[in-house]
Amino acid sequence: MAGGWNPWRALSRSPEVSVVYGDPGEGNVGVVDLRSRVITLCPSLLQDERRSTLAHELVHLERGTPCGPGDPEEREVARLAAARIIAWSDLVEAVKWSDDLEEQARELWVDEETVRVRLHHLTEAERETLARARASREGQQGADAPRLTG
């Protein structure tokens, strides 16, 4: 899947931004230095984790906002990065496939936390669409079965 925004492609269009692999500091898997425009990623991250972390750090860079855990801006950056990297149509397809967060993350080529954040910030209409996607997976038929719409 992963048909949405690609953080590596976005990075390639920003030659003033560099990525290095190193220790981003205790409790972090990635950090961005806003002045030098250098993103540091933990070298032990798996590919889906690197994609998710890079997306998150690029949103920090765009917004010019350094912050830490628990900061409201950190939650907003996580929300924006998750919405950007997980295309709506891909999320619907992943939910049609499974309700298991790990399977959804694998299908979407992101880490589980990014899926969790994306699902947490759905609108009511989006929740209803995903409920219909689940129902279609479970084979609900008849008048009670909602129709899936995009």
Task: Find the CATH number of the domain harbouring 30.
Answer: 3.30.2010
Residue 116 forms part of a structural domain:
yes
What percentage of the chain exceeds 70 in pLDDT?
90
Separation between Cα atoms, residue 29 and residue 43, nearest integer Å: 9
Tell me the residue range of the domain where 32 lies: 7-137
Whether 130 and 146 have beta carbons less than 8 Å apart is answered as no
Separation between Cα atoms, residue 88 and residue 85, nearest integer Å: 9
Question: pLDDT at residue 127 above 80?
Answer: yes
What's the confidence (pLDDT) of residue 149? 44
Average pLDDT of the chain is 89
Which residue, chain included where needed, has tokens 């409201």? 72
Residue 67 forms part of a structural domain:
yes
What is the CB-side half-sphere exposure of residue 78 using CA atoms within 13 A? 21
Cα–Cα distances in Å, from 89 out to 27, 58, 74? 33, 22, 25
Number of domains comprising the chain: 1
Question: pLDDT at residue 142 above 80?
Answer: no
Read off the pLDDT band of 97 (50, 70, 90).
Answer: confident
Q: What value does the mean pLDDT take over residues 49-66?
A: 94
- What pTM was estimated for this model as a whole? 0.86
Specify burial of residue 65 (Cβ count, 10 A radius: 0-12, 13-18, 19+). Answer: middle
What's the confidence (pLDDT) of residue 146? 46
Residue 143 forms part of a structural domain:
no
Residue 144 forms part of a structural domain:
no
